[in-house]
């Protein structure tokens, strides 16, 4: 905690605000894993943590180091870029895998192949 107090007041409050807000967003996203009722609903929850939480916390980190060390190379952008590009790929693949498994085991409430319906999933 020694270096953070060297920040000017405006930057300190901005960093803390972004950090708190990002952590809260991440918490809500992970809470979604507990509170939503089936897999396809839970699939939506982590995207909040990745899109909202990562961007806010990386912004806080960028601002902090930019002011502290007065450097303007933002390597946190790499994390933001990497996470926002890769998470949709993981989740889409996971959704496909889940759909495949549910069809294979003939679970109820999962849309059949080649049959467009918009039934509510109830497993």
Positions in 13-42 near another protein (CB under 8 A): 13, 15-17, 19-20, 22-42
Residue 36 DSSP class: S
**Quick check: 91 binds another protein (CB under 8 A)?**
yes
Among 70, 85, 106, 108, binds another protein (CB under 8 A): 85
**Quick check: 89 binds another protein (CB under 8 A)?**
yes
**Quick check: 59 binds another protein (CB under 8 A)?**
no
Residues binding another protein: what is the number (CB under 8 A)?
92
**Quick check: 66 binds another protein (CB under 8 A)?**
no
* CA–CA–CA angle 118, 120, 123 (5° rounding): 135
Positions in 96-115 near another protein (CB under 8 A): 96-101, 104-105, 111, 114
* CA–CA–CA angle 107, 110, 39 (5° rounding): 85
User: What span, in angstroms and rounded, lies between the C-alpha atoms of 82 and 68?
Assistant: 25
Cβ-in-10-Å burial (0-12, 13-18, 19+) of 39 comes to middle
Least separation in angstroms between residue 114's CB and another protein is 7
Contact 109, 119 (CB under 8 A): yes
**Quick check: 68 binds another protein (CB under 8 A)?**
yes
């Amino acid at each position: 905690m020694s270096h953070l107090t060297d920040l000017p007041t405006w930057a300190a409050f901005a960093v803390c605000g972004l950090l708190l807000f990002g952590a809260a967003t991440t918490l809500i996203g992970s809470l979604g894993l507990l509170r939503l009722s089936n897999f396809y609903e839970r699939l939506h929850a982590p995207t909040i943590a990745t899109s909202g939480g990562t961007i806010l916390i990386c912004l806080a980190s960028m601002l902090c180091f930019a002011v502290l060390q007065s450097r303007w190379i933002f390597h946190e952008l790499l994390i933001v870029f990497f996470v926002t590009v890769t998470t949709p790929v993981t989740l889409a693949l996971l959704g496909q895998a889940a759909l495949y498994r549910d069809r294979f085991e003939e679970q109820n409430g999962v849309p059949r192949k080649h049959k467009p319906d918009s039934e509510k999933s109830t497993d």
